[in-house]
Chains A and B, each alone.
Chain A
């Protein structure tokens, strides 16, 4: 079962003639599967072998791209037929296939796709379009272009690596997710859990800002696998259902730290960079109101990692995001 390339972990810390590290170990390291001395040895190897480093970086980029490609699927509404199946299936109508023996039932299920217990999941014309929108995150975002008056030249500003790309992505992400009727957040606002979850996945501690004094309550947050690295979005809502979002990410190098304001259509946005963290506040509010909120967020920004937060895990922790 073991591949010949697979080497046992070095038993002592890496010394100058360190044993070569195979691709399987590099790949396992990227997935957070190595611990202790083995992980240390791989890291030392990567420092000395830029070509191996480049290979691992490319795998990492592919991993992010794969995540992004399917990131929108869990946000799609669950087809009613599947929900019905869960509540009624295995009951009255489907009793015959009850819990007899595992093997027997498996066999009976084998030609299953011909037997459609829940009608209506068959192909629909719009389904392909939905899949494409899901498969192509950018496609899913396209629908929001109308709201954010999003022009072609701005599309190129979204491109990874442009200095203010993250600011545009903040606006974009706002437009997309405030319109989501049901799945507008990924994790609801159970304060500590949400902060820990986001902090573990982006590179700096996430603080859940309190905007109650402005009548906006935190409803939850989501992780956005956009561009290089990750971003987090926090969403707030007032009693009339008006929503504002706070977008957090590590900005690209060369982004200036000034406190800036932009307006497009009915959306206003304040953004700034502080201590290596980029913040953008986006919402359909007048400038003064938004400014007051932005200032409040600025005052609440964490100076040091908050006491209750776990530090970001080791590179590529084997995090199961469940």
Chain B
């Protein structure tokens, strides 16, 4: 039996936020849309497992989390976008991006350097604005673990941003995890 239209409609409405989360995990738009695609495929295949009284986004994020985890296991290493590439693409896109781009570059570079175990809960809390309980549901870890990982992620991110060698600048940060 195929997924009913109402389910597909809700799925469609969730795509923009799902794409944001995928982008924050994978940086590269091609990779992140691959992740979104995989998530949607799995959601459509398992639509009967979705409890309609629950939040669809949390359910989708947990599928995306698993898919991303599978991808990492498969690749054994995670390619992240080189800040230098980002800078070049930015230049090609044209226009003066303003004064705080250097800062933002550093932020994304520092984010990319975070261990995935820390990066994911940090993004779910800060960008997706999920509660700790929801993050625990998405990642299938205890709430206490969410709390400590978010805290460690914050401290590590700060250290990367404050340490001189942690700056994006000219040093490519091609992190192999």
Q: Which residues of A contact B (CB under 8 A)?
A: 1-3, 5-6, 23-24, 26-28, 31, 33, 55, 58-59, 62-63, 65-67, 69-70, 73-76, 78-79, 81-83, 85-87, 89-91, 94, 97-99, 102, 105-106, 109-113, 116-118, 121-124, 127-139, 141-143, 145, 152, 155-156, 158-160, 318-322
14 additional contacts (CB under 8 A) given A28-B150, A28-B151, A86-B40 = A58-B158, A62-B126, A73-B16, A73-B23, A74-B20, A78-B12, A85-B37, A94-B44, A97-B45, A109-B45, A128-B89, A132-B86, A155-B98, A159-B100
Cβ of A66 and Cβ of B129 under 8 Å apart? no
A interface secondary structure, majority: helix
Q: How far is the CA of A273 from the CA of B47 in the complex (A)?
A: 51
Q: How far is the CA of A208 from the CA of B77 in the complex (A)?
A: 50
B15: which A residues are within 8 A, CB to CB? 78, 82-83, 86
Q: Which of B12, B45, B104 contacts A65 (CB 8 A)?
A: B104
Cβ of A27 and Cβ of B107 under 8 Å apart? no
B11: which A residues are within 8 A, CB to CB? 86
A66: which B residues are within 8 A, CB to CB? 24, 107, 111, 122-123, 126-127
Q: How far is the CA of A156 from the CA of B99 in the complex (A)?
A: 7
Q: Interface readout for B48-81 with A: 1 if CB under 8 Å, 0 if not?
A: 1100000101000000001100110010000001
A124: which B residues are within 8 A, CB to CB? 30
Q: How far is the CA of A66 from the CA of B94 in the complex (A)?
A: 23
Residue of A nearest to B56 (CB): A322
Q: Which residues of B contact A (CB under 8 A)?
A: 1-3, 8, 11-12, 15-17, 19-20, 23-24, 27-30, 32-34, 36-38, 40-42, 44-49, 55, 57, 66-67, 70-71, 74, 81, 85-86, 89-90, 92-101, 103-104, 107-108, 111, 122-123, 125-127, 129-132, 134, 142, 144-145, 147-148, 150-151, 154-155, 157-158, 161
Which of A27, A69, A122 is packed against the most chain B CB atoms within 10 Å?
Answer: A27
Q: How far is the CA of A62 from the CA of B103 in the complex (A)?
A: 11
Q: How far is the CA of A29 from the CA of B141 in the complex (A)?
A: 20
B37: which A residues are within 8 A, CB to CB? 81-82, 85, 116-118, 121
* A64 → B minimal CB distance (Å): 9
Q: How far is the CA of A98 from the CA of B67 in the complex (A)?
A: 18
Residue of A nearest to B123 (CB): A66
Cβ of B108 and Cβ of A87 under 8 Å apart? no
A23: which B residues are within 8 A, CB to CB? 151, 155
Q: How far is the CA of A87 from the CA of B40 in the complex (A)?
A: 11
Asked if A110 meets B74 with Cβ closer than 8 Å, knowing A2-B144, A121-B33, A139-B101, the reply is yes
Cβ of A145 and Cβ of B95 under 8 Å apart? yes
Cβ of B132 and Cβ of A99 under 8 Å apart? no
* B157 → A minimal CB distance (Å): 6
A87: which B residues are within 8 A, CB to CB? 8, 12
A319: which B residues are within 8 A, CB to CB? 129
Q: Which of A1, A99, A122, A160 contacts B144 (CB 8 A)?
A: A1
Which of B1, B20, B157, B158 is packed against the most chain A CB atoms within 10 Å?
Answer: B20
Cβ of B100 and Cβ of A111 under 8 Å apart? no
Cβ of B104 and Cβ of A69 under 8 Å apart? yes
* A186 → B minimal CB distance (Å): 10
Cβ of B157 and Cβ of A117 under 8 Å apart? no
* B113 → A minimal CB distance (Å): 14
Pull 7 A–B residue pairs with CB atoms less than 8 Å apart, ordered by A: A3-B148, A69-B107, A81-B37, A85-B44, A86-B44, A94-B44, A139-B93
Asked if A135 meets B86 with Cβ closer than 8 Å, knowing A33-B131, A99-B47, A319-B129, the reply is yes
Q: How far is the CA of A160 from the CA of B103 in the complex (A)?
A: 13
A322: which B residues are within 8 A, CB to CB? 17, 55, 57
A127: which B residues are within 8 A, CB to CB? 29-30
